[in-house]
């Protein structure tokens, strides 16, 4: 029987993920995410504040999901807490526009041109204690033009430079 897998596309680094105990600021179905055994974290290299060097769409961290709690940085969003993790180059794993996707471990089986991921053979390490331990969202000061352009560019699969934003006050 296969296990459920949550996959996310983030601009944040391994150090950031380890410091908060997981990956956060996600709009997702908490119950559906909690039902997943693993989270596959992929690089969003097109974000203006990207923190990692990995190629866009490549998976760089796989973790065992411990819980899904309110985000510590964004109100009304979720933090996927990880109990154990493994950092590595898991190759190109991202497809689609939404930064949150749901799969099963069967979707990661080897194919003709795909080596696959055997989750049972991964050498997981325990997560360090998070630096931020409170699970109360911090107030966020709104959205910057760059963040809005980056989000819209992902949604419409275009370069951020193709997005024009007009503000009328």
Write out the chain's pLDDT in tens, 169 residues: 799 999 999 999 999 999 999 999 999 999 999 999 999 999 999 999 999 999 999 999 999 999 999 999 999 999 999 999 999 999 999 988 899 999 999 999 988 888 899 999 999 999 998 875 444 444 445 678 877 887 787 778 888 888 888 888 7
Q: What whole-number distance in Å separates Cα of residue 91 and Cα of residue 163?
A: 29
Q: Could you tell me if residue 144 is inside a domain?
A: no
Q: Give rounded-to-5 percent helix, strand, coil for the chain.
A: 20, 30, 50
Q: Could you tell me if residue 22 is inside a domain?
A: yes
Give Dmax (Cα) for the chain: 56
Q: What whole-number distance in Å separates Cα of residue 70 and Cα of residue 73?
A: 9
Domain count, the chain: 1
Q: Could you tell me if residue 157 is inside a domain?
A: no
Q: Could you tell me if residue 95 is inside a domain?
A: yes
For 74, list phi and psi in degrees, rounded to 5.
-135, 125
The structure's pTM equals 0.77
């Amino acid at each position: 029987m296969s296990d459920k897998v949550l996959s996310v596309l983030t601009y944040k680094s391994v150090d950031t993920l380890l410091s908060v105990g997981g990956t956060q600021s996600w709009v997702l179905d908490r119950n559906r995410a909690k039902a997943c055994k693993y989270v596959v974290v992929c690089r969003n290299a097109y974000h203006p504040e990207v923190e990692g060097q990995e190629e866009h769409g490549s998976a760089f961290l796989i973790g065992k999901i411990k819980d899904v709690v309110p985000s510590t940085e964004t109100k009304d969003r979720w933090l996927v807490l990880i109990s154990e993790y493994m950092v590595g180059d898991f190759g190109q794993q991202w497809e689609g526009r939404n930064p949150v996707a749901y799969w099963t471990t069967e979707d990661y089986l080897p194919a003709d041109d795909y080596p696959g991921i055997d989750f049972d053979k991964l050498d997981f390490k325990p997560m360090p204690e998070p630096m931020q331990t409170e699970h109360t969202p911090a107030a966020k000061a709104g959205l910057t033009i760059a963040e809005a352009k980056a989000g819209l560019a992902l949604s419409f699969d275009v370069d951020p430079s193709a997005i024009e934003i007009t503000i009328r006050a």
